[in-house]
């Protein structure tokens, strides 16, 4: 199935953990716990369901929904009754009144002589509605569950809460191994959709690597063909995935959602975000930005330089969400009333400009995977440089650390246009900006969608090189 393209690593890690449980059946504490996190709609639940189906051992799969402790416990018991656990009906008949009793009963239903799997999905809901859930989970694990040959998989989409679950001084610290499920990378997307390097990078920016959106992309189709299908369908995954994720992330944090929309519209500085968000005050804006960064929805960046800078900029971290906020969210009404043609025309007009900015973080991350090579040295920090007035802006800065570097290792420019190679005019502009940053000689690099005709460069990278970084 398309949803599992590129998931071999995750399936193998899950299999390794289950094999360790099987090997420890005769030991005193054979249980293993895995803390699996990843952003919404990245395919975590489907991955684990596929693994559990293939494992051929008894398993229980429960998904929390934030409906209150009593309701969650009733659903947990009902799911246990329907599960393949040999004694799952015990939970349903006992009607436990709290999570301590439910988890102790769960341990009693687990077989002693063979491995089993228990999955609790969306654990952050349970953490948020029950102040003592973490402590209860820790006691139940130490006293009962770990003594059974069980693989306990705890899944969560709230990245900050899942990280906190295993952090120092929290009750469940060091009791579970962490596994992060990320989006499909550009090479995986290209293989899945039958696309060449440049087209695969376009698809990566548009879908964010979300399997559900990728599965709607016709094999071999370009961006225009895909958008004509997806934008014309008001319930396509491209249209609804972001809306559903945001509704789950911000059921009450209206200001954070407002600020996210302002950043998604293209505003990057604190002052401009303030204006775009309707004149929100500095304190609520700071609070909203903190929430967005904790949820990994927004990245805050400083220029890499030999001198300190306060010119922080913000961007939407997920390219799909960035695309949706810019081109889809403000125009949902016209899509729903059958005027997708207006939306498509707007996307076509703004696509090249949007893509040129959106591809920058992906290229920087790709370079970090490529280097060192025979052209350039390794750089522990790869970012960009800008001034407050944007009179100097450098797309790529490689350095020994960030944001205040001791040593700059290379500078570069990105030109991501069809049929327009990086030329000597582009190289001259990069040289002028280099002089504003340092007077030291430094290697210059170009990353271009259409190759380079410029002289005096130390390295040139194209779509093939960027894709190769992810293989």
Which fold, 359-468? Trna Endonuclease; Chain: A, domain 1 (3.40.1350)
CA–CA dist 207, 328 (Å, integer): 13
Phi, psi for 411 (deg, rounded to 5): -130, 150
Beta strand 408-415 pairing with 444-448: parallel
Specify the pLDDT at position 6: 58
Give CATH 3.40.50.300 domain extents, the chain: 2-180
Domain with CATH 3.40.1350.10 in the chain: 359-468
Give the phi and the psi of residue 345 in degrees, each rounded to 5. -65, -40
- Domain 186-353 - what CATH class? mainly alpha
Angle at 256 between CA 250 and CA 262, to 5 degrees: 125
Q: Say how far apart CA 159 and CA 165 lie, in whole Å.
A: 10
CA–CA distance, 86 with 23 (Å, rounded to integer): 21
Which residue spans of the chain are classified as CATH 1.10.10? 186-353
Answer whether 438's CB lies under 8 Å from 172's CB: no
Average pLDDT over residues 386-399: 95
CATH 3.90.480.10 fits 2-180, yes or no: no
Interval 96-129: pLDDT, tens: 999 999 999 999 999 999 999 999 999 999 998 8
Q: How far apart (Å, rounded) are the C-alpha atoms in residues 289 and 270?
A: 10
At 3 the pLDDT is: 44
Summarised one tens digit per residue, pLDDT across range 329-368 is 999 999 999 999 999 999 999 999 999 999 999 999 999 9
> What are 426-470's pLDDT values in tens digits?
999 999 999 989 999 999 999 999 999 999 999 999 999 999 999
pLDDT per position as a tens digit, 77-100 = 999 999 999 888 888 888 899 999
Query: Considering the entire predicted model, what is its pTM?
Result: 0.89
Q: Is the pLDDT of residue 236 over 80?
A: yes
**What does residue 273 show for φ and ψ, rounded to 5 degrees?**
-65, -40
Angle at the Cα of 384 from the Cα atoms of 467 and 408, rounded to 5 degrees? 100
């Amino acid at each position: 199935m398309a949803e599992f393209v590129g998931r071999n690593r995750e399936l193998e890690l899950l299999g390794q953990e289950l094999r360790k449980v099987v090997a420890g059946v005769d030991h005193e504490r054979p249980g293993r716990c895995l803390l699996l996190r990843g952003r919404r709609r990245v395919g975590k639940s489907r991955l684990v369901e596929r693994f559990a189906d293939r494992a051929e051992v008894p398993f229980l799969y429960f998904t929390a929904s934030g409906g209150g402790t009593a309701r969650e416990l009733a659903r947990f018991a009902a799911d246990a009754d329907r599960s393949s656990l040999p004694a799952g009906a015990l939970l349903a008949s006992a009607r436990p009144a709290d999570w301590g009793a439910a988890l102790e009963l769960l341990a009693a239903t687990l077989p002693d002589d063979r491995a089993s799997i228990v999955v609790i999905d969306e654990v952050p809901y349970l953490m948020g509605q029950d102040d003592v859930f973490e402590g209860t989970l820790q006691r139940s694990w130490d006293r009962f569950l770990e003594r059974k040959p069980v693989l306990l998989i705890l899944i969560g989409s709230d990245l900050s809460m899942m990280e906190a679950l295993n952090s120092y001084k929290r009750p469940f610290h060091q009791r579970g191994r962490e596994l992060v499920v990320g989006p499909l990378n550009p090479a995986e997307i290209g293989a899945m959709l039958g696309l060449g390097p440049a087209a695969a990078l376009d698809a990566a920016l548009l879908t964010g690597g979300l399997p559900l959106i990728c599965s709607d992309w016709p094999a071999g189709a370009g961006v225009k063909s895909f958008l004509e299908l997806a934008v014309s369908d008001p319930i396509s995954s491209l249209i609804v995935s972001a809306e559903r994720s945001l509704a789950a992330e911000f059921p009450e944090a209206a200001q954070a959602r407002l600020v996210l929309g302002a950043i998604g519209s293209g505003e990057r500085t604190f002052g401009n975000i303030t204006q775009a968000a309707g004149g929100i005050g500095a304190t609520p804006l700071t609070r909203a930005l903190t929430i967005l960064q904790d949820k990994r929805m927004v990245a805050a960046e400083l220029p890499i330089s030999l001198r300190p800078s306060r010119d922080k900029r913000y961007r939407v971290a997920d390219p799909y969400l960035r695309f949706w906020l810019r081109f889809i969210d403000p125009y949902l009404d016209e899509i729903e009333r059958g005027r997708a043609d207006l939306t498509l025309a707007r996307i076509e007009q703004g696509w090249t400009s949007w893509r040129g900015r959106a591809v920058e973080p992906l290229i920087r991350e790709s370079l970090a995977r490529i280097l060192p090579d025979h052209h350039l040295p390794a750089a522990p920090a790869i970012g960009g440089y800008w001034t407050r007035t944007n009179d100097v802006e450098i797309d790529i800065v490689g350095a020994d650390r960030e944001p205040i570097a001791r040593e700059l290792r290379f500078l570069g420019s990105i030109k991501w246009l069809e049929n327009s190679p990086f030329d000597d005019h582009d190289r001259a502009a990069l040289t002028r900006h280099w002089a504003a940053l340092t007077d030291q000689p430094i290697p210059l690099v170009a990353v271009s969608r259409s190759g380079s005709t410029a002289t005096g460069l130390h390295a040139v990278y194209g779509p093939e090189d960027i894709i190769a970084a992810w293989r």
